[in-house]
Structure 1
Amino acid sequence: MNWLDDYKEELHTVFQDSRTIISGFPEPFRSQGLAYLDQFDVFQVHSKKNYICYLLPYWLNRECGLSLEETRRMSTGNVVLMLFFFLQDDLMDNRQSAPAEVLPLANLLYVEFLDLYRPLFPPESLFWSYFRRYITEWADSVAGEAAGDYYWNDRSRVARKASPLKLSSTAALLLSDKSSFIAESEEMLEAVLLTLQMLDDYEDWEEDLAEGSYNCLLSLVRHHLQQDTAILTPAAVKDFIFTTGGLTQYAATAAVNHEKLLSGRLSIPGLTAFHQMLVDNLLHIAAAIEAEKALLQGGGLGYWLSKNMNL
């Protein structure tokens, strides 16, 4: 089973459904919402690909036996809720964002998410208790990240910045009378979300260092050097990555996360395959750095030959 290709046709439907929902908004929120959706549409060139958000309901379908209508509804709900929370993030992270432009659109998206999930769960359903908890986890995590140094002190809280994603896994398990697996599914998702954040933070560390944003890799560097993140320099981070083999240690944490996925009772092959891809990316980057370092240590001629000759 391929974690992405098997679901591309369905994703076309999900994004079309999301586009139809947003097209019903009054202007200027209709235009703003559609433009924002395009930034995350998996079929748009150069869009941000939040695959786990779109695909988690489909990955769960095999284990939970959901109907196609339920699966599509939850995936569309995930897209709408993703946009809602990313708008919140933009407002908190970007001082140039205008609340008067962001908040009305965010609230329209939030109402649409509720309308998608209400038919699945009556008011007395346990789903709404989990809903409250996941929103609380998100609020707690985004509010205290920098001061709490989560990567070093409590890595579960790194993942809980994306706690609302757990709604669709919990929803699927409740609909299929598998609520006994909810705690395990939460742990699995937190392992994947941590690795996903770690990979993003490796790619974004220079920007995050310049802006003073919290970053998992920078946390590791700071503790390695026993320095405050505020006084880290790009040269010091590059030395940690390229000279001391720090990225190998960083990638090892992702590999441990994968073992957690494989050791549980709950089987979600799509999620496991997606996470393996994330882990492999980090491991390959770390291995490539170490291989290039070994070539450099082997002498200038050997390094030149490795770069310029097809042997």
Structure 2
Amino acid sequence: MSQSEAFPTFDAACCQELRAAAERQLQAQAPQFAVQGRLLLHALSPDQWPAEWHLPWWLGQSLRLDEERWQALTVANLLGLAHIFLADRLNERPATVDDDSDLPLAEAFHQAALALLHDLFDDHPRFWQHYAQSMAQWRQAQRHADDPVPLTFDEWQQDGLRLCAWRGAPLKITAVGTLLLAHQDATIPRLSQTLDQMLIAQVLLDHLDDWRDDLAAGRFNAFALYAQRHPSRLAAQMPLASRVLAMLMTGQSRGYTALVDAHYAQALRGSEGLNCVGLQRFLAAQRLDAVQRCGQLVDAAARHFQRAIRASLQP
């Protein structure tokens, strides 16, 4: 089953319409960035960013919010996604690179999203409280991105899991807005906790997928840190990349993958109380995809070691 069949998604025409609306909003606020903005909006595809594209729609459908408003929230999400994407890219650039060329475009997207949100929520002070909280959490996660790496995975978890959720906190802005427009304020804590669990699982899974690239680039990787949790005497003498491969091949990564699954399971349980079929189906699909990706990584590690053994046996 493809992802598009596993949970509700927009068809191509609807995606084109929403993207065009985001382009018009940016054009109205910052016409000098229209061309650059269009290129970035087309790069941020719904396949790569499914929650950012669809969450206001899933929630809006379940709450019977009128189409005009959930569409406006989706457009605000796309503009906000572009802002966060550029800001994260600026934050992740090497310290030796002095290039702030993305900053004006990032701010243009930010102001375009804000203008649309003001149209929707000028008379909703509670929305702006949640907006400020989500942005503050995201900024704090950014500030801690270059903190010294903890010595152990258990130590990292004390603050690391919370910061994983805060990295994606801007996603909650329009989600909370959808509930406020539908007069479902009491549901906000459950939705926020559900999305936090989803975001933690997604970041942990990204670390599992990206461990090779992160180690090669000298970036922190939670899965690589987990590989140092219970090293044998032999493993302690191996390069870290080899230790990660050995952990995958010998099944010692199960504790990490179980942690990913546990956070998806918590998100799924939380979504059941929201009565949002789209979000429930998305989380179920994400959880299944995580299991499959973990299995693929184990298989890839086994193939790597088989090739290494064959190479060592060749005369």
Question: TM-score scaled by structure 2?
Answer: 0.80
Shift of 1:171: 0.4
Counterpart-to-counterpart distance in 2, 1:190 and 1:275 = 12
2:197–2:263 CA contact under 8 A, matched in 1? yes
Q: Residue 271 in 1 paired to residue 279 in 2?
A: yes
User: Alignment RMSD, CA only?
Assistant: 3.0
Find the aligned partners of 1:189 and 1:74 in 2 and give their Cα distance: 17
Note the alpha carbon deviations across 1:227-246, whole angstroms, 9 max, x for none. xxxx9621111111122431
Task: Spell out the pairing of 1:164-243 with structure 2 (5 A cutoff).
Answer: 164-225=170-231, 233-243=240-250
Does residue 15 of structure 1 match 2:52? no
Q: Residue 294 of structure 2 corresponds to which residue in structure 1?
A: 286
CA distance in 2, matches of 1:232, 1:20: 51
Distance 1:286 1:159 in 2: 21
How many Å separate the matches in 2 of 1:266 and 1:108? 34
| Partner-residue secondary structure (3-state), 1:62 | helix
The residue aligned with 2:309 is: none
Cα distance change, pair 11–164 in 1 and its aligned pair in 2 (3 A)? same
Deviation digits for residues 250-287 of structure 1 (CA, Å, limit 9, x no counterpart): 22122222332343322222222222222212212334
Contact 1:88 1:106 (C-alpha < 8 Å) held by counterparts: yes
Q: Which runs of 5+ in 1 are unaligned?
A: 43-47, 300-311
8 Å Cα contact 1:63-1:268 kept in structure 2: yes
2:169 alignment partner, SS class: helix
Q: Work out the CA distance in 2 between the residues paired with 1:292 and 1:104.
A: 42
Aligned to 1:307: none
Q: Could you tell me which amino acid in structure 2 is paired with residue 161 of structure 1?
A: R
Q: How does 1:37-48 map to 2 (within 5 A)?
A: 37-42=41-46
Aligned residues: 287
For residues 45 and 269 of structure 2, the distance between their equivalents in structure 1, rounded to whole angstroms, comes to 33
The answer for the alignment partner of 2:143 in structure 1 is 143
CA 1:293–1:30 in structure 2 vs 1: closer, same or farther (change >3 Å)?
closer
Query: Aligned partners of 1:293, 1:206: CA distance in 2, in Å?
Result: 12
Cα drift, residue 70 of structure 1: 0.6
For 1:9-158, what aligned pairs fall within 5 Å after superposition? 9-24=13-28, 25-27=30-32, 29-42=33-46, 49-95=48-94, 96=97, 98-99=99-100, 101-122=101-122, 125-145=125-145, 146-147=147-148, 152-154=157-159, 155-158=161-164
**Contact 1:3 1:59 (8 Å CA) reproduced:** no
> Is the contact made by 1:222 and 1:232 (CA closer than 8 Å) also made in structure 2?
no
Q: Which residue of 1 aligns with 2:235?
A: none
CA distance in 1, matches of 2:41, 2:167: 21
Aligned AA (1:126): R
Report how far residue 112 of structure 1 moved: 0.6
Partner letter of residue 165 of structure 1? L
Identical-pair percentage: 21
Q: How far 1:38 sits from its partner (Å)? A: 2.3
